[in-house]
Structure 1
Amino acid sequence: MRILQILLAVFIAFGFTMSSVQAEETKVKADNKKLEVPNSVLDISKDNTYPNPSQDVPYLQPSELSQELIDSSNVKIENPKLIKILNESNISPSPVAIGYRATIYLGQWPLSYESTETSVNWEYQKINTNYTDNRGGKVPQQLHYRQEAQKSVKGGLTSKVEAADDVKEMMMLKAMDKTKLPLSFQTIVGAGTKKDQVYNIPVKKLGYLYAYSPAVSEKGKITYGEVYLVLKGKEMKIVVKNVTSQGIGAWIPVQDHVSFIFAASDRPR
């Protein structure tokens, strides 16, 4: 907000006007290739007794002005929040701007995230165990998944970084694009959630059905920089100074998906 107030004062003082324009939002077209999901992993989105909010993070389409400014930058810019600020600004040159020069500091930003490794741990966190004793039975018994208690599964960054929320958003966007999975830094499985999938327990056996919440391991590099808006006459551009990079990782749970492992045993586990 402070940045926008500074910009507004400067532009008015030198014959510029700033107006708000509606940012266009679009999603990157999904690739036909999808991550192969094991048969042991089931989608519970229609069965989950806890309605998780959708995490379809929109890709911001830069406005014409924003795209010109981004293209003028000496460093790649992908941060949706910075693009949103640029999208909300419309700068119109005025005749009195001839010969005018100004450099406006927009702050230090995480500018872009480069993904170097994306993998999925289908057994990231155990969330439930179902059990049936058929040691005294004469016929096989059936075991079904039923969530005994509500379970919240949280992910997060593997180290502390500046502007962590911006970094998490960029990392999740890249991970969603690469895996085509519904991701969220928190997902909840409600008590009483169940599936009709049948697991047969032989006679004289104990049956155990373990349920796990999967998560994506995302690793890469985040680039930071000090962003300046440089105005020179009727020309304008973005200049990034003091650029630094930092390695970063994150665990991002797969929303509304459960991985199952069934085991039949002679003895209690």
Structure 2
Amino acid sequence: MGSSQSKAPPVSRPSPLLEQPWREVSEKYKDNLEFVKSYQPENEQVKHLRILLHGPIGAGKSSFINSVDTVLRGRSAGRAHTDAISGSSYTKQYKTFKFPKSPGVKYSFAFNDIMGLEQDFDSGINVNDLKLALRGHVKDGYKFNPDQVLMRGDDGYNSDPTLEDKVHVLVGVVPADAVSRLSDEMVKKIRNVRLAASELGIPQLAIITKVDEACPEVKKDTSNIYKSKYLKEKVEQFHQLLGLPKNCIFLVKNYNDEIESNDKINPAIVCALKQMVTYGEDYLNDQ
């Protein structure tokens, strides 16, 4: 009589997803979108709340601006130019992006795109130029030079900035798969900028981008963004690395391949945008 070989029971692997999202973004999506669309600064010195994005090259700063534009327009937008293969910062100029609300009318917040940070001392934006931007000393259209800091008297230097010219919210942008790989020099540069913003009382947030590239479950379904255990760990790592509170760190999937507005992508973008506007409004009210 032949012996029967018993099969081993299947291995039960833990799910990469939480049962419930650790941050809810979908339920309040419409309310959040209405909030940012109807926002008006109470401080009459300012027409547009200014949000400055900074971070390593290729982090998705310009793509986030395009993603916000896409959400607001309800269609694909690409005014902030991006490049996936150059290996250096594609953004060279200090440029303000305002978003059309209706003919001749803009929404009451604006983004500034800026040259990316690089690890080497002599490449990427100079941290001192970034500090000048925080204070409103960099004119729109100024072309950054890694080898030369902007100085008083230069064409791109704004010697008498108004409250409108100054930065009201600073947002760090880092790709999800780069959080654990940030070099000591890069962390030092980011913390240097954070310290300068803190001294000026400027509120700070961060967005972690390219979450779909880092997490297969999010690539399959973007609504899993705040269910992913892996991405939750990235938020914790970023919190430990740079000291930002976890409620100031947001996960975002930017528009890249999509040519239509997508209600699975939009809620996380709008959630982050609402907090940027809210924190910026608090700052303006303190001025």
Q: Does TM, scored on the shorter chain, surpass 0.5?
A: no
Q: TM-score, normalised by structure 2?
A: 0.21
Structure number with greater Rg is 1
**Larger proportion of helix:** 2
Greater relative CO, 1 or 2 (CA 8 Å, sep 6+): 1
Report which of the two has the higher share of strand.
1
